[in-house]
Amino acid sequence: MSSNNDGLFEEWDDFKQEDVPEGMDWNENYHSIRRRIHRDRKKQQWIRYGSAAFAGVFLVACTWAYLFAPGPEQPKIAGGPVIKVIHNASDTISRFRLPDSTQVVLYPHAMLVFTSAYNRSARELYLDGVGEFDVHKDRSRPFIVYADNLTIKAIGTKFLVKNEKQATSESVLLEEGIVQVTDRVMRKSPKLLAVNDLFIWDRTAASMNIVNTTKKAKTTLAPVPKEAGAEDRMVVRPAWFSFDNASLPVILDRLSELYGQPIKFKKSELANLHFIGKFDKNDSLEHIIQVITSLNELKYQKKNDGTYLIYK
């Protein structure tokens, strides 16, 4: 860690799975942890030089939060990991690199919690405060950030997360690539963000909104010609179209029809895969296929004649 990161405060301690009591109530313990975190921020010197006993309690508490976050994608930790807490106690931005080469910018007084299991089967961490992530691409190990009420899943991308206690909202701004955001309160369908989309979760109203910070709305519908050699007709796509947990074979057949381009795949390979997402009519077919294949850990190839091949 460079001298520019002197403001980062780092601790770790051994933690055993059996130390977590059965029947843990996430909401009760999570908010207790949050209060502890923010109370301790007012006592930075005590955090730096506090007793080892408190450090152990604090780390186990953070681990409880990490283990028992609600939602279908909550972290799962094998027995006996090492818990790591990185705290930017300074008033300036600090930068560092995670073990998988993901680059992280921690804003003043922000905190990350992750374990030694990070960079194995998955890459999961909890963010308290504001952090920016430039994720190292790895299709086999999705990168997941947990905020208070949100789960952000990325493949290889760059995004900013704001999760501040005093704020009335949590937000995710996508700068590059692809991310999927799920709220763990209302449990609505995951939302897929496009570049420059700002996802805002209103804590008071328990509601969400997505605003694109650069795109202007387009109201006209454009006809889309079939591929060369196809029958002479035009296909009109709706202004937007969505898929709510549909199977991939159904989705790919529908996309082929909408865009007039062949998409080839083995139905037996994709039969058990599903997708939830929404696209604008102006999104290119290649962009949509890239999103779908990335989130389902598939590969694709575009041939010279415009045909797409989807495979594992």
Domain span at 112: 3-212
Residues 111 and 57 in one domain: yes
More confident residue, 305 or 52: 305
Backbone angles phi, psi at 299, to 5 degrees: -120, 155
Q: Considering 212, 242, 268, which residue would you say is the last residue of a domain?
A: 212
Q: Is the pLDDT of residue 65 over 60?
A: no
The encoded tokens of residue 297 equal 């850990």
Check which CATH number belongs to the domain holding 125 and give it: 2.60.120.1440
More confident residue, 59 or 137: 137
In a domain, 218, yes or no: no
Question: According to the model, what pLDDT value does residue 19 have?
Answer: 32
Helix/strand/coil for 290: helix
Segment 119-168, tens digit of pLDDT: 887 799 999 999 999 999 887 888 999 999 999 998 778 999 999 888 88
- Give the count of domains, the chain: 2
Work out the average pLDDT over 274-278.
73
Residues 239 and 298 in one domain: yes
Residues 198 and 62 in one domain: yes
DSSP 122: B
Residues 184 and 230 in one domain: no
Pairing of strands 103-106, 111-115: unpaired
Long-range contacts formed by 17-25: CB under 8 A, 24+ apart? 17/77, 17/78, 17/79, 17/80, 18/79, 19/60, 20/60, 20/63, 20/64, 20/67, 24/64, 24/67, 24/68
In a domain, 151, yes or no: yes
Give me the amino acid identity at 89. Answer: A
Helix/strand/coil for 218: coil
In a domain, 18, yes or no: yes
Whole-number percent of the chain with pLDDT over 70: 63
Residues 11 and 156 in one domain: yes
Residues 167 and 239 in one domain: no
298 alpha carbon, distance to own chain's centre: 18
Cβ atoms of 154 and 190 within 8 Å: the answer is no
More confident residue, 13 or 303: 303
Residues 89 and 156 in one domain: yes
Among 174, 171, 169, which residue's Cα sits nearest to residue 156? 174
Please give the mean pLDDT across all residues of the chain: 72
Q: Considering 189, 212, 235, which residue would you say is the last residue of a domain?
A: 212
Q: Considering 156, 190, 212, which residue would you say is the last residue of a domain?
A: 212
Question: According to the model, what pLDDT value does residue 234 have?
Answer: 37
Residues 277 and 230 in one domain: yes
Q: How far apart, in whole angstroms, are the C-alpha atoms of residue 193 and residue 173? A: 9
Full DSSP string of 141-194: S-EEEE-SSEEEEESS-EEEEEE-TTSSEEEEEEEES-EEEEESSS-PPPEEEP
In a domain, 19, yes or no: yes
Q: How far apart, in whole angstroms, are the C-alpha atoms of residue 291 and residue 285? A: 10
Cβ atoms of 262 and 308 within 8 Å: the answer is yes
In a domain, 292, yes or no: yes
Helix 248-259 vs helix 285-295: angle between axes, to the nearest 10 degrees?
170
pTM of the predicted structure, to 2 decimals: 0.53
Residues 121 and 186 in one domain: yes
In a domain, 217, yes or no: no
Helix 52-67 vs helix 26-41: angle between axes, to the nearest 10 degrees?
140
Residues 190 and 80 in one domain: yes
Residues 41 and 159 in one domain: yes
Check which CATH number belongs to the domain holding 235 and give it: 3.55.50.30
Binned at pLDDT 50, 70 and 90, residue 240 comes out as low
Residues 136 and 277 in one domain: no
Q: No. of H helices and E strands in the chain? A: 6, 21
Segment 223-238, tens digit of pLDDT: 333 333 333 333 455 5
Helix/strand/coil for 97: strand
- The beta strands (E) that lie in 215-290 are given as 223-225, 234-236, 240-247, 263-264, 274-280
